[in-house]
């Protein structure tokens, strides 16, 4: 019985292979100078990821919990982003970048969400099949599981999904972009349609997205953002629509 309860708790804390109550931030060094800021960013990310509510990222009410973010953690660890590269100048201790991963207490995070009028989204989250057309410098191509001329879009999409606890997958190379029958056969998968184009006049990427959720079509977009932020906007919007 005890084993079954532990397994059930683990299943609740993870969705689509992601640890919902953990987050990662890039910091400089492993001392305390950047640690508190890193904990603050991780806390915001976890509140959004666990609840499925992107609005909590900018909710001023959550700021009251940031000074005590370190006390909310069960553990944390660093990973050297320059592992294998020789140290130079002051990168032995001061200027070397690290990934700070923080695992928060589920009970404490749930209590904060309750205070903010939110609740954990612990049920199954549908995988997002990204049906995306990318345009830049007069060239347009479809993002697929293989055959794309650049690996960065897939990396950015998967990273955005991991940040928000959503699984992102891609259609096969031989599937037609607008056609639902071309989707991979993944139980519960939902198609996230979009276009992403580089616009010099917008000083960045412009994305338009749409998804079918709860019986209706939801549309949103973003303009003048970085490549990575465009994919994060797509996943945030899908998460909000499907919640």
What does the pLDDT look like over 145-193, one tens digit per residue?
Answer: 876 667 899 999 999 999 999 999 998 875 544 444 445 567 789 999 9
132 and 89 in one domain? Answer: no
Number of domains, the chain: 2
Give pLDDT tens digits for 5-23. Answer: 333 344 444 554 458 999 9
Strand 18-19 to strand 14-15: parallel, antiparallel, or no bridges (unpaired)? antiparallel
Boundary of a domain, candidates 87, 115, 143: 115
pLDDT higher than threshold 80 for residue 90: no
For all residues of the chain together, what is the average pLDDT? Answer: 85
Whether 137 and 231 share a structural domain? yes
Q: Is the confidence at residue 206, as pLDDT, over 80? A: yes
pLDDT value of position 147:
64
Residue at a domain's end among 47, 81, 115: 115
The predicted structure's pLDDT at residue 183: 54
Domain of residue 132: give its range: 128-242
Strand runs labelled E in the chain = 14-15, 18-19, 22-28, 73-80, 97-104, 128-136, 139-143, 168-169, 190-199, 204-213, 216-225
Residue 87 has pLDDT above 60, yes or no: no
Mark whether 106 and 178 lie in a shared domain: no
Q: What is the pLDDT of residues 91-116, one digit of tens each?
A: 455 578 899 999 999 999 999 999 99
Within this chain, do residues 111 and 39 fall inside the same structural domain, yes or no? Answer: yes
User: What is the per-residue pLDDT across 33-61, written as a single tens digit (0 to 9) for each?
Assistant: 788 899 999 999 999 999 999 999 999 99
CB 28 within 8 Å of CB 89: no
What pLDDT, on a 0 to 100 scale, did the predictor assign at position 86?
58
Per-residue pLDDT at 117: 96
The pTM assigned to this predicted structure is 0.82
């Amino acid at each position: 019985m005890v084993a079954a309860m532990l397994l059930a708790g683990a299943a609740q804390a993870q969705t689509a292979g992601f640890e919902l109550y953990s987050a990662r931030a890039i910091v400089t060094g492993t001392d305390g100078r950047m640690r508190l800021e890193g904990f603050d960013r991780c806390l915001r990310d976890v509140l959004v990821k666990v609840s499925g509510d992107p609005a909590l990222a900018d909710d001023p009410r959550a700021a009251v919990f940031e000074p005590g973010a370190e006390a909310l953690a069960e553990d944390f660890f660093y990973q050297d982003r320059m592992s294998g590269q020789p140290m130079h100048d002051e990168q032995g201790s001061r200027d070397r970048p690290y990934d700070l991963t923080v695992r928060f207490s589920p009970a404490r995070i749930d209590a904060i969400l309750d205070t903010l009028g939110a609740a954990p989204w612990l049920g199954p989250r549908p995988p997002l099949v990204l049906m995306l057309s990318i345009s830049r410098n007069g060239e347009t191509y479809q993002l697929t599981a293989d055959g794309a001329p650049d690996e960065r879009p897939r990396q950015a999409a998967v990273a955005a999904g991991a940040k928000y606890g959503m699984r992102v997958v891609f259609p096969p190379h031989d599937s037609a972009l607008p056609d639902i029958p071309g989707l991979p056969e993944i139980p519960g998968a939902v198609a996230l349609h979009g276009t992403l184009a580089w616009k010099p006049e917008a000083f960045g990427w412009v994305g338009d997205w749409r998804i079918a959720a709860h019986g209706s079509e939801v549309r949103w977009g973003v303009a003048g953002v970085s490549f990575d932020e465009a994919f994060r906007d797509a996943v945030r919007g899908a998460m909000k629509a499907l919640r």
